[in-house]
Amino acid sequence: MSTMTLRGALAIVGAESEHSDAIHIRDGHIVSADADVPGDTEVVDCTDCVVTPGLVNAHHHLLQTAFRTLPGSRFRPMREWLQVMATAYRRMRVDPELCAAAAAVGLAESLLAGVTTVADHHLTWPAGVDPVDLAGATIAAARDAGARLVFVRGTAGDDPHAAADSVRAIHDAHLVDPSHGVSADGMTQLATGPSGVHADSPDTFRELATVAAELGLRRRTQANEQVDVRIAQERYGARPLQLLEDWGWLDRDVTVAHLCDITTDEIAALARSGAHATHAPGCDIPMGWGIAGVADFQDAGIVVGLGTSGGGSNDGGHLLADARLAMQVSGLIGRPLSARTLLTAATQGSATGLGRAELGHLRVGAAADLCVWDCGDVDDAGVADPVDGLLWASPGRRPRDVMVAGRWVVRDHRLVGQDSRGLAEQLRRLLRDREASA
């Protein structure tokens, strides 16, 4: 039996009481202070630190980690941006080796930034490459890193029936004793996710909904991006959310990302459906799509999570930085959002959208996924509220320690069991070799 106590914290966010100074862990879960704790329990000093749940990135594209700051991809309309990305994918030959290297870097970056769960919406499936192998490369990278992964079998114009069959094959090959699409150890989850109504047909949405119901999987998609609204109007004479509702993709098991260009009536429809939303300001703002009305969503009763989206649009997987951005720009379009509101979105809000009640908080029974943030140096001197300071002070802040399922994956700002510089060089070398042979 593995037991541990984190003691002396300034605050513990997401616990029964934020003012508690200690948290107790046994066998990978949070337990009560009254639980039977052996005398040899490890004690971790959290003086001058704030403890939070591990952050949950509800929307990422890990493959794009290999395609950051591409020439011609900055400040372009989405249609042109998609073409730039597609050209780069073809040039670099997306295959399991590239997916593994990109995912290893993206997941290491995530853990070092306090993200313990990543939902990877994978949309690129080249002809002649086995989808089971492609998915397996990312899943294996997450296992090696010690991160939780939600692998979203996405589509972007793929054959609907082949896509659905590959979901079944990935499920059978890579999930051990799954329950509702989650492996028995909780480390791997499978979901389905068309890119959006601009790229995928009603048949694709129907087939992926069918296989999701068959296997008990969550569903995810994107809507109301720049090109999404225009193409939906041109092709179907309707707006994306109306199409999603008509196609059965506004429901309690669905999460929709982006949602920048959205009307009051559409917010009401989203709320009635019970669907969840994911805010991705670090992508949406530089891409010129706008700012999602998170305050309006929450006022309507919609659960909102937070995501970074991929390296092709955001260039980073630092979810806390994007929570800070979301907080800073929120007042431009409505009621300003507090640091605590955005921390909740980046933890419990994201976890709820994934159907993972054990993640995103530190109450008794939760999985022991957490971050220890050192607030004792000059960056936080003069900060009146250390929880507010997590977002307001020290842009680019990284946690001192990160735990997943009761195991340390980051200690003193360094990965445990992996060499981050080695992973970076592996990806750089692979990209150099492929560029030379292109």
| The pLDDT value given to residue 397 | 97
The answer to whether residues 175 and 153 touch, using CB atoms and an 8 Å cutoff, is no
Cα(153)–Cα(173) distance, rounded to whole angstroms? 14
Distance CA 146, CA 153 (A): 21
Window from 68-77, 100-109, 376-385 with minimum mean pLDDT: 68-77
Number of other residues whose CB lies within 10 A of the CB of residue 426: 15
Say whether pLDDT at 37 is over 70: no
DSSP state of 175: -
CA distance 12 to 362: 8
d(CA 90, CA 396): 33
Is the pLDDT reported for residue 419 higher than 70? Answer: yes
Residues 286-336: pLDDT tens digits?
Answer: 999 999 999 999 999 999 999 999 999 999 999 999 999 999 999 999 999
For the segment 55-62, the average pLDDT, to the nearest whole number, is: 98
Helix axes 78-92, 420-437, angle to 10 degrees: 90
The pLDDT-based confidence of 391 (bands split at 50, 70, 90) is very high
Mean pLDDT within 371-375: 98
Per the model's pLDDT, the better-predicted residue between 226 and 418 turns out to be: 418
Sign of CA dihedral 88, 90, 94, 97: negative
Q: Residue 81 pLDDT > 80, yes or no?
A: yes
Quick one: average pLDDT of 18-27?
92
- What is the DSSP code (8-state) at residue 113? T
CB 188 within 8 A of CB 174: yes
Whether 133 has a pLDDT exceeding 70, the answer reads yes
Report how far residue 381's alpha carbon sits from residue 393's, in angstroms, rounded to the nearest whole number.
9
Residues 6+ apart with CB under 8 A from 411: 400, 401
pLDDT recorded at residue 41: 84
The pLDDT score that the predictor gives to residue 35 is 63
For residue 38, the model assigns a pLDDT of 64
Q: What is the mean pLDDT of residues 149-167?
A: 97
Residue 178 has pLDDT above 70, yes or no: yes
> How far is the C-alpha of 40 from the C-alpha of 220, rounded, in Å?
44
In the predicted model, is pLDDT for residue 430 greater than 90? yes
pLDDT recorded at residue 71: 93
Q: Does the pLDDT of residue 406 top 60, yes or no?
A: yes
Across the range 398-421, mean pLDDT stands at 98
Neighbour count for residue 251 (Cβ, 10 Å) = 13
Q: pLDDT band for position 202 (50/70/90)? A: very high
In eight-state DSSP terms, residue 184 is T
The pLDDT value given to residue 21: 85
Burial of 98-135, coded b for 16+ CB within 10 Å and e otherwise, reads bbbbbbbbbbbbbbbbbbbbbbbbbbbbeeeeebbebb
Contacts for 26 with CB less than 8 Å, ≥ 6 apart: 1, 2, 3, 4, 35, 37, 406
Which pLDDT does position 36 carry in this prediction?
Answer: 62
Per-residue pLDDT of 208-221, as tens digits, reads 999 999 999 999 99
Distance CA 62, CA 100 (A): 9
Q: Is the distance from CB of 149 to CB of 114 less than 8 angstroms? A: no
Q: What mean pLDDT do residues 132-136 have?
A: 98
